[in-house]
């Protein structure tokens, strides 16, 4: 296994760890807003780490660019989703 492959695997494993942490947070935290807090932070970083690992494994600038684009769009959509849920909670629509 080359150094790049090991680095790529390590990045993806770290990313998975963030997803697990975010999921644990979502299951364990008491209310909607703190659950959102755990989920959005953890998943944002988790996705970027996994994408960085995948970009290293793919080993080409084109794929790295595509993955970066996906990260950017998911970050935007994720932030918007979290905002909309938080807004619903604040205005009393959520449970």
Partner 1 sequence: MDAMLVFDVALALALVGLAWAVLAAEDLFAAVVLFIVFGLMTALAWVRLAAPDVALAEAAIGAGVTGALLLATLRRIGGAESAETTPRPVLIGVGALAAAVTSGLGAAFLAAPAQGPGLEAAIAANLAASGVEHPVTAVLLNYRAYDTLMEVVVLFAAVVAVWSVAQAPEPATPLLGPLHAGFARVALPAAVVVGAYLLWAGATMPGGAFQGGAVLGAVAILALLARDYVPAPAHRAWARGAFLAGTAVFALVAAGVGFGPRMAFEYPPALAKPLILLIEAVVTLSIAATLAALFFGREPEPLGVEVEARK
- The footprint of partner 1 (CB under 8 A) covers 73, 76-77, 80, 83-84, 87
Q: Quick one: 24 or 84, whose CB is closer to partner 1?
A: 84
Residue 77 beta carbon to partner 1: minimum distance, rounded to whole angstroms: 7
Residue 80 beta carbon to partner 1: minimum distance, rounded to whole angstroms: 5
DSSP secondary structure letters along the chain = --HHHHHHHHHHHHHHHHHHHHHHHHHHSSSHHHHHHHHHHHHHHHHHHHHHHHHHHHT-HHHHHHHHHHHHHHHHHHHHHHHHHHHHHHTT---
Residue 87 beta carbon to partner 1: minimum distance, rounded to whole angstroms: 6
């Amino acid at each position: 296994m080359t150094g790049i492959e090991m680095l790529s695997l390590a990045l993806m494993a770290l990313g998975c760890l963030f997803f697990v942490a975010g999921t644990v947070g979502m299951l364990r935290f008491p209310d909607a807003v703190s659950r959102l807090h755990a989920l959005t932070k953890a998943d944002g970083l988790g996705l970027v780490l996994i994408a960085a690992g995948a970009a290293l494994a793919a080993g080409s600038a084109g794929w790295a660019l595509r993955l970066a684009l996906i990260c950017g769009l998911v970050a935007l959509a994720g932030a918007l989703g979290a905002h909309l849920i938080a807004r619903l909670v604040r205005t009393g629509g959520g449970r």
